[in-house]
Each structure stands twice: as structure tokens, then as C-alpha cells.
Chains A and B, each alone.
Chain A
């Protein structure tokens, strides 16, 4: 009898709904509940990657292979074009592309997160942020695959890691923290306005060239002001992970920008999510 009482008491807090429809508290409650049942997100995120391994020997490493070939090709072409020292440029390019791919794929998949989970959202009452965690987790696992390119390039170039590389870990966490709110906002907007997915994809494409991913800031001609990349938050997020892996300290300004964007972004995302969370099921 007691166990029954406990289990029903437990479900009360989870099961009751409709007290409030909108507001920051709704958004926060959704996120807290998502973190409590994070296992669902982790299992299904893992499942998404596992699916790539079915009937394929190397599975998700196909993505890694694609990335590696891309890096090799671009490294060869641009290294010659920019007359950058081949080894240094290859290492720079390798790290940049791996991190950028993680960033842009997460945002691009973020756009379709709710749309892709339509079946679940319309049938199972689940906090919505769970689907965002699933997208993030899936992309972190893919990043884990792609990162193996880095030691290979490091070996080819004949370079070594030093302890500064450890700074890439907090940098990556800060990047993920920022991607989480970005993904949430993109998912909400794209569920309501389906065309926006294309707009965001194009935006990411432009940002890929605008952000120093394939080019180095010091190869920029004199007449171009450094403001071109310094006002770009993607640049600072990228720097936080990239610089430590290249054996340098990221600038203080990059930490400040990343933290500032996280605080402002999350505040905005929570208000936005609180306002429209209840509409998502209707938009699907």
C-alpha cells in the first residue's frame, strides 16, 4: 500500500498539467523535466547514430571519411593558393572544419528537430526540450567520431599536443551551451514557419565563408578591417575550441563574448520557449 502511495505521489507532479500555459516558468519546468528524464534523449540520440552502423561496416565513420577527404582536398588547394606553410595550414584547417561541421550540423538539424519528432510529440506527453537534447547528443557522438582526424593530422604534420589543449574542453562545453539555446530557438521558429529551415541553411552557408574557417585571419589583406570577424560570435566560439588544440591560448575577448552570448541567448530562449511551447503541438 505504501509503495502505491509513493508512486502515485511521484506521478502527481509529473502528470498534472495546465496550471499555466505560458511564461518563463513553463520553459524552465520543461527543461528540468527533460533533464530528469534525460535517459530517453540519450537512448534515442545513441540510436540515431547506431542506425548508421546497420548493414554498414564502418557506419558513422563514413562521415569522418568524408570530412577527412574534404580537409585533405581543401588543404592541398588552399594551402597552395594562400602559400601558407603546408603543415601549419593543414592542422588549422583540420581542427576548424571538424568544429565548424559540429556547429553547423547541430544548428541545421536543430531546425527540423520538432518536425522530425512529430510522431512522438503528438502521441506521448514528453517535455519538448528532450528532443533538443537528443539532437545535441547525436551531434556530440558524431563529433567524437570526427575528432579522430585530429591526431592523424597531428602525426602527419609532426606536431605534438601540449597541456594547453585541455582548455578545449571548457571551450567545447561553452560552445554546446550556446548551441543548445540556438537549436531550441531555431526549432521553434522552423516548426511554425517551415520555410525558415532553408533560410537558416543559407545563413550557415554564408557564415562558413564569412567566419575564418578555411582562411586564417592573418592572410586577410591590410585594407580589410579586423572587425569583419571580430563582431562574429561564431568566430569566438570556434576560437575557444580551436586555439587550445593548436597550442595557443584563446583571447580573453573570446571567452567574454561566448559567455555573454550564452547569458543573453539563454534568457531570450527561455522567454521565447515559455511563450510558444504550448503551440508546438498545434504547428505540427
Chain B
């Protein structure tokens, strides 16, 4: 059973290169960003998440909203198992892939085919899986003979096409995304959106951080609103989105 459970999770970032200066003992509360507090005489700490308790079950499509610095990316990283929280417990059941930077692992001097392979390895695909999906990825990218020349010779649109085609070929149980992936010209955009829908349908849990109300309303069945690293609201999309966007 695929699931994610957070129990009283807090994440605190130590800032080593900033002297505690005049922060005194007070806690700074600012419009954006987490709380900055002084732990001891030497250490300055920014808390990214504070006391978050959350259970995500199979079939849930979670939307994350919140201002810049409200802890969205930090939460995504906790959910993918990258940050181990400073306090609290996390348990992640299921194979998880995060599509945050889809160009990660790409070597500009390698050819298109080589890059499909490299990106596949980076996402944890086995050689057999990569071989099986190679043709389909190549066809979807629509790059044809360009796949035999170095990646750096591509236009930026073509580079994104290849990265997108490869990244969306995975079928994880848990999919984590920071903003929706959409790219290319009109023709490609249509196919890309369809492919994204297929990918999302195939996963058991989706967590999507976005600033687009329309996107969240269309893809999510639960929305979480983060503020200052805490969950401010958690519920049905209609309810939370109208409270967050203010209408």
C-alpha cells in the first residue's frame, strides 16, 4: 500500500555563515520566508517546516499552495525522502520520483540517445527498462535524426523536448512535482499535456506544488495551504483554493 506519513515533522536549517549578530532572542517575523531564530549564541536557524502532521493515502492528488518561502519546496523534499526532518517521524511507502529539474543528469556534449540513457539511469531505470522505452521516448520527442548529434547543438526548445520526453517515461508510485511541466510549441504542448495526464493517472500518489489555481483545481482532490512552515488549511480544492486566492 502506497502511503506517506508525517508525524510532528519540523525542519530547521542551520545557517553557518551568518553570525548571530543583532538577532537577540526575539523571533523575526517577516512577510516571506520561514522563521529565523537564534538557537544559541553561535547558531542561527531558519525553520522551514514546523510541526507538520500529515497522512497521504493511495489515490490522493495533493496540491500545495503557499507564498514564496512558505515551505513548499522543503515539504516536497521531505516527502521525497531527501531531507530527513530535524524533529518528528516520516514514513514513505512506495517508489518515489521527483520531477523538479528535468534536465538533471544531462550531458550537453553527449548525443540525444546517450542523454536519454543518462537521464534514465538518474531516475533509477534499469538498462532493460531504458532499452524498452528508448524507441517510444525517441518518437515522442520528435527529434528524429537530431538524436544522433550532441545535445548542445539543439535549440532550447528541442533540449526541453528531450528532457521532457525522457523524464515522463517513468512510472513511479509517488510523483512529486514543483510546478507543472509544460513545454514546446503548440503542437508539442498538446501532446505533452496528454502525456502528463497519463503519467499522473498511472501514479498512486501525486504531490504538486503550484501557483496556478486552474491547474490545481483540474488535477487535485486535496489541497494543502502552507504558511510560515505550518499547515494553515487542508481540505477539498474548492474550499482551500477560494480561501487562498481570496474569492
A187-220 interface mask toward B, CB cutoff 8 Å, 1 = contact, 0 = none? 0000000000000000000000000000000000
> From residue B207, how far is it (CB to closest CB) to chain A in Å?
14
> From residue A83, how far is it (CB to closest CB) to chain B in Å?
49
A14-43 interface mask toward B, CB cutoff 8 Å, 1 = contact, 0 = none? 111111010000000000000001011001
Q: CB distance A125 to B109 under 8 Å?
A: no
Question: Is A51 in contact with chain B by the CB < 8 A criterion?
Answer: yes
Q: CB distance A51 to B121 under 8 Å?
A: no
Question: Is B95 in contact with chain A by the CB < 8 A criterion?
Answer: yes
Cα-based distance from A8 to B171 in the complex (angstroms)? 12
Q: CB distance A16 to B91 under 8 Å?
A: yes
Cα-based distance from A39 to B98 in the complex (angstroms)? 20
B115-129 interface mask toward A, CB cutoff 8 Å, 1 = contact, 0 = none? 001100111100100
| A281/B96 contact (C-beta < 8 A), A16-B91, A43-B118 known | no
Q: CB distance B122 to A282 under 8 Å?
A: no
Q: CB distance B95 to A11 under 8 Å?
A: yes
B38-71 interface mask toward A, CB cutoff 8 Å, 1 = contact, 0 = none? 0000000000000000000000000000000000
Q: CB distance B93 to A125 under 8 Å?
A: no
Q: CB distance B92 to A15 under 8 Å?
A: yes
Closest to B12 in A: A282
Which of B2, B92, B101, B124 interacts with A17 by CB under 8 Å? B92
Q: CB distance A122 to B82 under 8 Å?
A: yes
| A15/B121 contact (C-beta < 8 A), A47-B107, A119-B101, A120-B104 known | no
Q: CB distance B84 to A124 under 8 Å?
A: no
Instruction: Tell me the number of A-to-B contacts counted with CB atoms below 8 Å.
Output: 89
Question: Is A44 in contact with chain B by the CB < 8 A criterion?
Answer: yes
Closest to B90 in A: A18
Closest to A54 in B: B109
Closest to A55 in B: B109
| A12/B93 contact (C-beta < 8 A), A17-B81, A124-B122, A282-B13 known | yes
Question: Is A141 in contact with chain B by the CB < 8 A criterion?
Answer: no
Cα-based distance from A120 to B105 in the complex (angstroms)? 8
Question: Is B173 in contact with chain A by the CB < 8 A criterion?
Answer: yes
For residue B141, which residues in chain A have a CB less than 8 angstroms away from its CB?
none
For residue B109, which residues in chain A have a CB less than 8 angstroms away from its CB?
51, 54-55
Question: Is B230 in contact with chain A by the CB < 8 A criterion?
Answer: no
B146-157 interface mask toward A, CB cutoff 8 Å, 1 = contact, 0 = none? 000010000000
Q: CB distance B93 to A123 under 8 Å?
A: no
Q: CB distance B100 to A39 under 8 Å?
A: no
Cα-based distance from A121 to B80 in the complex (angstroms)? 11
> From residue A59, how far is it (CB to closest CB) to chain B in Å?
11
Question: Is A278 in contact with chain B by the CB < 8 A criterion?
Answer: yes
Cα-based distance from A119 to B119 in the complex (angstroms)? 13
Q: CB distance B121 to A40 under 8 Å?
A: yes
Which A46-96 residues have a C-beta within 8 angstroms of B?
Answer: 47, 50-51, 54-55
> From residue B74, how far is it (CB to closest CB) to chain A in Å?
10
For residue A120, which residues in chain B have a CB less than 8 angstroms away from its CB?
104-105, 122
Q: CB distance A8 to B173 under 8 Å?
A: yes
Question: Is B238 in contact with chain A by the CB < 8 A criterion?
Answer: no
For residue B123, which residues in chain A have a CB less than 8 angstroms away from its CB?
124
Which of B13, B85, B95, B122 interacts with A15 by CB under 8 Å? B95
| A121/B82 contact (C-beta < 8 A), A18-B91, A44-B121 known | yes
| A281/B82 contact (C-beta < 8 A), A11-B173, A47-B107, A120-B105 known | yes
Cα-based distance from A120 to B80 in the complex (angstroms)? 13
Question: Is B94 in contact with chain A by the CB < 8 A criterion?
Answer: yes
For residue B101, which residues in chain A have a CB less than 8 angstroms away from its CB?
119, 123
Question: Is B195 in contact with chain A by the CB < 8 A criterion?
Answer: no
Cα-based distance from A17 to B92 in the complex (angstroms)? 6
For residue A125, which residues in chain B have a CB less than 8 angstroms away from its CB?
80-82, 96, 98
Q: CB distance A15 to B105 under 8 Å?
A: no
Closest to B204 in A: A8
Q: CB distance B104 to A282 under 8 Å?
A: no
Q: CB distance B98 to A124 under 8 Å?
A: yes
For residue B211, which residues in chain A have a CB less than 8 angstroms away from its CB?
none
For residue B93, which residues in chain A have a CB less than 8 angstroms away from its CB?
12, 15-16
Question: Is B83 in contact with chain A by the CB < 8 A criterion?
Answer: yes
Question: Is B14 in contact with chain A by the CB < 8 A criterion?
Answer: yes
Cα-based distance from A54 to B152 in the complex (angstroms)? 12
Closest to A41 in B: B121
7 contacts between A and B (CB under 8 A): A15-B173, A18-B91, A44-B118, A44-B121, A47-B110, A123-B104, A124-B82
Q: Which A residues have a C-beta under 8 Å from some C-beta of B?
A: 8, 11-12, 14-19, 21, 37, 39-40, 43-44, 47, 50-51, 54-55, 119-125, 278, 281-282
14 additional A-B pairs beyond A17-B90, A18-B89, beta carbons within 8 Å, are: A15-B174, A17-B91, A18-B81, A18-B85, A39-B121, A47-B110, A47-B118, A51-B107, A119-B101, A123-B98, A123-B100, A124-B122, A124-B123, A281-B83
